[in-house]
Amino acid sequence: MVGAERDVIAAANIFSVLAGYAALVPEPSAPIPIAETAAGMGWAGWILWLPAISTVMCGLCAALRVKNKLPAWITVGLLGSSFLMTLALWLQYDQPVVIHLLDWIVLGGDRWTFIANFSLYVDSLTLLWMLFVTGLGTLIALYASEYMEADVRGGYARFFAGISVFLFAMTALVMADNLLMLYLGWEGVGFASYWLIGYYYRKPSAVAAAKKAFIVNRIGDLGLALAIYLIWHNFGTVEYRALFEALDSGSYSAEAGGWSIKAIPYLLMLGAFGKSAQIPLYVWLPDAMEGPTPVSALIHAATMVTAGVFLVARMYPVFLLEPASLTVVAWIGGLTALLAATIAMAQHDIKRIFAYSTISQLGYMFMGLGMLSSVGAAYHVFTHAFFKAVLFLTAGVVMHGFAGQVDLRKVSGLRHLPGFRITSFTMLYACACLAGVPLITNGFWSKDAIMAQAFISTGPGFRALGVIAIITAFLTAYYAFRVWFRVCAGPVHFEAGEEQPDDDHAPEHGEFRPHAPRLAVNLVLIVITIGAVGSIFLKGWAGERIEDSTAAYYSPLAQGAGFWEDPHHWMPWVASAVGLLGIAVAGYFHLVNRKAADGLKNAMLANPATRWLPTAMENKWYVDELYHLMFRGPLWLGGHILNLFDRYIIDMAIVDGVARVPRLLGRGFQPLSNGILQSYAVSMAGGVALLGILVFLMPQLVDWLSRWMGGAG
Amino acid sequence: MWVWPALLLGVPLFGAIVIAIAPSRQAKWIALGVSAATFVYSVMLALVFGHWDDGGFGFEGSIPWPGLEKLGITLSLGADSVSMLLVLLTTLLMPLCVAGSFTAINERLKEYYGWLLAIEAAMIGVFIARDLIFFYVCFEFTLVPMYFLIAIWGSEGRARACTKFFLYTFTGSLIALAGLLYIAWQYQIGYGQWSFDIAALTVFAATELTASQQAWVLLALLAGFAVKVPLFPLHTWLPLAHTEAPTAASVVLASILLKLGTYGLYRFVLPMLPEAVVAYAPAIAVVSIIGILYAALICWVQDDIKRLIAYSSVSHLGFCVLGLFALNPLGVQGSVLYMLNHGLSTGALFFLVGMIYERYHTRDMTKLGGLSKRMPVWAFFMVFFVLSSVGLPGLNGFVGEFLCLVGAFTASADNAIYPGVLGPWYAAVAGVGMIFAAMYLLIMVGKVVFGPLIEPARGAAAHAIRLPADLTIREIGVLAPLAVLCLYIGLQPKPLTDAMEGSINGVLGAYPATVERHLAASHESASDLAVDLGVVVQQPREHEERLDG
């Protein structure tokens, strides 16, 4: 009845018709049974092992100093096979299944167990993630085979080993059947990012960024580790199957379990915020762009950062034990989305803009999860993976073509240059997706689902969050098209970057020829753009994948079905309006009248009352400096103080002081103890003597003591 | 049959004698052959060892020695699975130490390799002793070779370092001896005859000593073992000794000698003194956590790589002690695994630093940088072992660290199966050490391995013996076995944890009951106090047995 009524009204709305979101009207179903290890599915393990083999083979290539493109073809081949097997697994999938591969940590006995094996837990959430992880991973490797060719004589094999180890870790993270293996993948992707960000290891900024990424992630990892301890403490297992069964049985609740259950989602959240670059742990992602390859940027932005969203989705039942935690997730996501968008508006480095945009879009995903729209969140992960991949790949083309130029003020009119046409148009489409251009872009549909939910779900301040989301959508459209209008449109003009990573491409004096992309890069751009277009129609499909999994939660429905009563009806119009408005503003300032943008900025800078705003935005709201002052500074100072304390107080004052006592007492023997060996000999002899006395005189001593005690008693 | 375990001691000792007689040109080859033979022999023993599953002692027997029996002393030997693993660690590392010294040591070769083999025998003796006096003699005897290794072949500050090392640990050990002898003396009072048999004394001490007696003995034993571990604030001898010692001595010190301390805690303190351990475990845990964070912060500001790694040992062994005093199988398994892992990865790190020192004659991070350009193979191993030390899952360090922390975390009063006296906060605070470890180790790697190349002029010694820029085959041969083991343990810890299980269950036998008694008593006394004070105490809510099934 309600459903039918909805359909009628939905039919009146062009957006609803196109979205086909009637498919999302929930049909409550029984818990999904989880099969024991299915016979004959052991081959699925190769999805995990193939990237590992690829790592080893690329490592061998590095060790044997292979100087051709062999590592790239190994990686592309093996990752591609891994993708095809994921596809095959998806086609024959019918119910959640656990596939045991290898024993890892098996402890305990009859009364308790601590089991964490190399096993795969395959359900539709896993498959959804795996499809884009391995699919995109393969395409990235293909793109990199051309992008990195200047390094064939250098770190080519090392780079592809890094990509492979990243994919191995990501696969382990997503396909794990227990939290410990997830943790292995979790730290593994952190390590892979350390590897890839620090790829140009002679560049101090790259090394520093790599270090920062690893350490900031470790802070989140500690949260995840503590959450795992608590889960084991409360449920006696870290395996998903047993955990979900325990949760299904309904015998656990946050009320009965007290803080030790309530704390779990907050700790998990900390881990997710670290990996997915949310407040307060987002600071590593922009710096990761220092990592010189857009390929590594892409790996972070399109795949790795979704790990946090995956963790929350996977552990959704645990979060639902303590619904207040989801509100926190939503608010953190919303605030991060807004903060990152404001920073993105004021940056000049294309890669950094896209990095902040990633943080901002991840904020939307967490908002979706927090507001009980796990379908919207997962769909946004899916669509975002496509368009963000295109954005980073095209940014890479710009960088590659203009010798490391990433400043959007210094490249213009790209679409008029020969060889850059595909780049310009794929980038246009991706920017449109990010901006949420109505109907024809996937980002429009996925963002809309989240924003509408903000006006349906009930939670503290969700309406305000919805408004924040709408404002952020406007800012997003603005900064996305700021990049496109600056770089691809307008009059042709460019300056080469300062970096000359390789001598072969060194420009002739005074004349710089842009280096246009060739087949592999263009092919990858086109394939992913087609994927982005295709994903418009996959909302229902992605929704079903989620509903089939542990992340299933039937989002609250609107109270009424009239146009104004159901935000799903009016939100598309609002979203379209703010998106187009943002594009229009960007068009005015960055295409039609570029001087106006500079003029506005200068005017604001000139006015003391408004000067702080552009300055703070350009300086990323001084968050890095704040962290430095709050954490790194005190710890560094503490380290120095403790170092002095250790050396002068503990060691010299106390230890040496105590050691001096016997020496003072033994002044009389000074002639004997003037050398090291003598003092050693004396103490050794003393020790042996004491030993002898104790052993040989003990009976007498005991005798004497017992007589004395007897006498006393 | 006493001959089999005795040969483990006998082979290296015999080797030391041969080295003393043979010409000094051949000393290193004899040492390599003998230590390799000892390793092969220990592996053969391990293969026929019959107690991997049950925690019992194998290869038991006493070396007959006329005249000792009437004192109650026997030279009895025997090994359970944990001893066996530590013996294997020792025998594995010694040939590597010998091979790692080939170019670094160029004077007084006979003495050097002789002392190395002597210390090997002493360390094996500690791990397989079943008699208190024999244990103590071996325990103390390790100091003598180490003293000479530092005093003769150490770097500039060696005089102060070796004296402090010797006197500090010697004093501690003497106090520990007093504690152990006290147990033997009480035994004599109780049974009318002397015995230094560790098994007998363990049972006696655990059951017959009163809580306050146990507390005093605990204090005495801690004096010896905590210095050796070393536990904050008794650690200051260690950075000094490590920094000044020659490479192989640093490796022996970090990988094995420190483990004598934790082994002592495992073999004596835990099984002998349950009452006192339960009472003092929180205090000891707090001290180890302070040590973890304190040493980690100090690591952060070191310029001397060797000193940094030495302090990192202090920090790391804090985890090890924390796991032991979790008093549950997870924590103790983690702790024993940690002993092995730390031996592998920190030993390798000292080798790596030594390789740099041989080439550049400096360990100062401000004078070194970007060495991966010059030495890619070295850089690979450096990053690998740093990651192992940081505790990256998939490598060995992770498993031990994780289990130590999960053990401490779940060792709370409401744990139905293994109630403990620690709890979530201990693990949460100690876990911050994981973040710090990533910080100081990656900063070191960032400076030394990556970044722009900074290298001082190559040392005169390196020119004299013509070391190439990157590692030689011999040096790779030293590191590769350790790397393979790190990876293997990281991926397949099960054989090790299975092997330890029996021994650990034996050591922990008394604990669940003792802890429960302790908790009940402390609860009672709290209510008594509260009643005295006129306060109404709320009964703690009954916790359901969640971990069952």
Distance CA A70, CA A57 (A): 10
pLDDT at B167: 82
pLDDT at A683: 56
Residue A380 has phi, psi (to 5 degrees) of: -65, -35
Do residues A340 and A356 make contact, with C-beta atoms less than 8 angstroms apart?
A: yes
Record: contact A225-B133, CB cut-off 8 A? no
Q: Rounded to a whole number, what is the distance in Å from the CA of A531 to chain B's nearest CA?
A: 34
Please identify among residues 207-236 of chain A the ones whose CB lies closer than 8 Å to any CB of chain B. Answer: 207-208, 210-211, 214-215, 218-219, 221-222, 225-226, 228-230, 232-236
Q: What average pLDDT does range B70-77 have in this prediction?
A: 80
What is the DSSP secondary-structure string of B112-149?
Answer: HHHHHHHHHHHHHHHHHB-BHHHHHHHHHHTHHHHHHH
Tell which residue, A149, A71, A144, A70, has the closest CA to residue A521: A144
pLDDT at B540: 42
pLDDT at A566 exceeding the cut of 50:
yes
- The answer to which of A241-245, A299-303, A663-667, B374-378 has the lowest mean pLDDT is A663-667
pLDDT at A656: 75
- The answer to which of A31-45, A525-539, B129-143 has the lowest mean pLDDT is A31-45
**Interface test with chain A among B238, B304, B544, B547, by most A beta carbons within 10 Å:** B547
- Positive/negative CA dihedral, B112, B116, B121, B122: positive
- The answer to which of A88-92, A165-169, A510-514 has the lowest mean pLDDT is A510-514
How confident is residue B538, by pLDDT bands cut at 50, 70 and 90? very low
pLDDT at B462: 57
User: pLDDT digits over A585-638, tens only?
Assistant: 888 888 888 888 888 888 888 888 888 888 887 787 888 888 888 888 888 888
Name the average pLDDT for chain A: 80
A170 vs A184, A305, B49, B386, B481, CA distance in Å? 9, 10, 41, 22, 28
- In chain B, residues with a C-beta closer than 8 Å to the C-beta of A49 are none
pLDDT at B479 exceeding the cut of 90:
yes
Tell which residue, B391, B487, B374, has the closest CA to residue B442: B391
- In chain B, residues with a C-beta closer than 8 Å to the C-beta of A260 are 424
**What SS3 state is found at A279?**
coil
Q: Which residues lie closer than 8 Å to B149 by C-beta, 6 or more apart?
A: B112, B115, B116, B119, B245, B246, B248, B249, B252
Q: What average pLDDT does range A316-344 have in this prediction?
A: 89
Q: Which residues pair with B150 in a beta bridge?
A: none
pLDDT at A201: 83
The structure tokens listed for A561 are 């079905």
Q: Which of the two residues, A708 and A210, has the higher pLDDT score?
A: A210
How confident is residue B349, by pLDDT bands cut at 50, 70 and 90? very high
How confident is residue B526, by pLDDT bands cut at 50, 70 and 90? low
pLDDT at A690: 59
Residues in chain B: 549
pLDDT at B271: 92
Q: Which of the two residues, A523 and B531, has the higher pLDDT score?
A: A523
**Interface test with chain B among A642, A644, A693, by most B beta carbons within 10 Å:** A642
Q: HSE (CB half, 13 Å, CA atoms) of B217?
A: 29
- The answer to which of A291-300, A511-520, A640-649, B408-417 has the lowest mean pLDDT is A291-300
Torsion angle of alpha carbons B263, B268, B270, B275, nearest 10°? -160
pLDDT at A11: 41
Q: Rounded to a whole number, what is the distance in Å from the CA of A701 to chain B's nearest CA?
A: 10
- In chain B, residues with a C-beta closer than 8 Å to the C-beta of A226 are 409, 424, 427-428, 431
pLDDT at B408 exceeding the cut of 80:
yes
Kindly state the helix (H) or strand (E) to which residue A117 belongs, with its residue range: strand A113-122
User: pLDDT digits over B229-244, tens only?
Assistant: 888 888 888 888 998 8
Distance CA A145, CA A521 (A): 9
Distance CA B170, CA B147 (A): 11
Q: What average pLDDT does range B270-294 have in this prediction?
A: 90
Record: contact B450-A208, CB cut-off 8 A? no
Tell which residue, B311, B306, B307, B284, has the closest CA to residue B296: B311
A201 interfaces chain B, CB cutoff of 8 Å: yes
How confident is residue B262, by pLDDT bands cut at 50, 70 and 90? very high
Tell which residue, B431, B448, B456, B236, has the closest CA to residue B349: B448
Residue B413's CB is within 10 A of a number of other CB atoms, namely 17
Distance CA B254, CA B246 (A): 12
Residue A593 has phi, psi (to 5 degrees) of: -135, 75
pLDDT at B457: 76
Catalogue the long-range contacts made by B457-466 (C-beta closer than 8 Å, 24 or more residues apart).
B457/B360, B458/B359, B458/B360, B459/B358, B459/B359, B459/B360, B459/B361, B460/B361, B461/B103, B461/B106, B461/B358, B461/B361, B462/B358, B462/B359, B462/B360, B462/B361, B465/B103, B465/B106
- Tokens 């390790």 belong to residue: B142
User: pLDDT digits over A670-694, tens only?
Assistant: 444 445 555 555 555 565 565 555 5
Q: Rounded to a whole number, what is the distance in Å from the CA of B77 to chain A's nearest CA?
A: 20
pLDDT at A500: 54
A603 interfaces chain B, CB cutoff of 8 Å: no
The CA radius of gyration of chain B, in Å to the nearest whole number, is 23
pLDDT at A712 exceeding the cut of 70:
no
Q: Environment class of residue A75 by beta-carbon count within 10 Å: exposed (0-12), middle (13-18) or buried (19+)?
A: buried
pLDDT at A340: 92
pLDDT at A292: 58
Q: Rounded to a whole number, what is the distance in Å from the CA of B329 to chain A's nearest CA?
A: 8
pLDDT at B351 exceeding the cut of 90:
yes
Q: What average pLDDT does range A113-135 have in this prediction?
A: 88
The structure tokens listed for B484 are 């393979």
Tell which residue, A174, A188, A184, A180, has the closest CA to residue A125: A174
Tell which residue, A337, A303, A352, A341, has the closest CA to residue A141: A303
- In chain A, residues with a C-beta closer than 8 Å to the C-beta of B450 are 198, 201-202, 207
Please identify among residues 678-707 of chain A the ones whose CB lies closer than 8 Å to any CB of chain B. Answer: 679-680, 683-684, 687, 690-691, 694-696, 698-699, 702, 706
- The answer to which of A327-331, B260-264, B456-460 has the lowest mean pLDDT is B456-460
Distance CA A270, CA A277 (A): 10
Residues in chain A: 713
Q: What average pLDDT does range A442-467 have in this prediction?
A: 85
- In chain A, residues with a C-beta closer than 8 Å to the C-beta of B292 are none
Distance CA A63, CA A158 (A): 9
B534 vs A301, A312, B522, B540, CA distance in Å? 62, 48, 18, 18
Supply angle C-alpha B395, B396, B398, rounded to 5. 80
Distance CA A282, CA A286 (A): 8
pLDDT at A23 exceeding the cut of 60:
no
Q: Write b or e for each residue in A619-634: b if 16 or more Cβ atoms lie within 10 A of its Cβ, otherwise e.
A: ebeeeeeeeeeeeeee
Distance CA A154, CA A200 (A): 10
How confident is residue A207, by pLDDT bands cut at 50, 70 and 90? confident
Q: HSE (CB half, 13 Å, CA atoms) of A328?
A: 18
pLDDT at A376: 85
Q: Which residues lie closer than 8 Å to A154 by C-beta, 6 or more apart?
A: none
- Positive/negative CA dihedral, A650, A653, A655, A656: positive
Q: Rounded to a whole number, what is the distance in Å from the CA of B447 to chain A's nearest CA?
A: 9
Residue A64: closest C-alpha in chain B: B377
Q: What average pLDDT does range B518-525 have in this prediction?
A: 80
pLDDT at A4: 45
Tell which residue, B182, B275, B165, B164, has the closest CA to residue B221: B182
Do residues B277 and B507 make contact, with C-beta atoms less than 8 angstroms apart?
A: no
Do residues B7 and B41 make contact, with C-beta atoms less than 8 angstroms apart?
A: yes
Residue B431: closest C-alpha in chain A: A222
Q: Which of A191, A211, A218 sits opposite B387 (nearest CB)?
A: A191
Q: Residue B304 carries which DSSP code?
A: B
pLDDT at B412 exceeding the cut of 70:
yes
User: pLDDT digits over B312-347, tens only?
Assistant: 999 999 999 999 999 988 999 999 999 999 999 999
**What SS3 state is found at B530?**
helix
**What SS3 state is found at B192?**
coil
Complex ipTM: 0.88
Name the average pLDDT for chain B: 87
* Percent of residues, chain A, with pLDDT higher than 90: 18
Distance CA A381, CA B227 (A): 54
Q: Which of A188, A679, A687 sits opposite B393 (nearest CB)?
A: A188
Q: Rounded to a whole number, what is the distance in Å from the CA of A408 to chain B's nearest CA?
A: 28
What is the DSSP secondary-structure string of A459-472?
Answer: -TTHHHHHHHHHHH
pLDDT at A12: 44
Distance CA A708, CA A702 (A): 10
Distance CA A236, CA A540 (A): 37
Q: Environment class of residue A423 by beta-carbon count within 10 Å: exposed (0-12), middle (13-18) or buried (19+)?
A: buried
Q: Rounded to a whole number, what is the distance in Å from the CA of B37 to chain A's nearest CA?
A: 32
B316: left (phi over 0), alpha (psi -120 to 50) or beta: alpha
Q: Write b or e for each residue in B464-503: b if 16 or more Cβ atoms lie within 10 A of its Cβ, otherwise e.
A: eeebeebbeeebeebbeebbebbeebbbebbebbbbbbbb
pLDDT at B406 exceeding the cut of 70:
yes
User: pLDDT digits over B183-197, tens only?
Assistant: 988 888 888 888 888
The CA radius of gyration of chain A, in Å to the nearest whole number, is 31
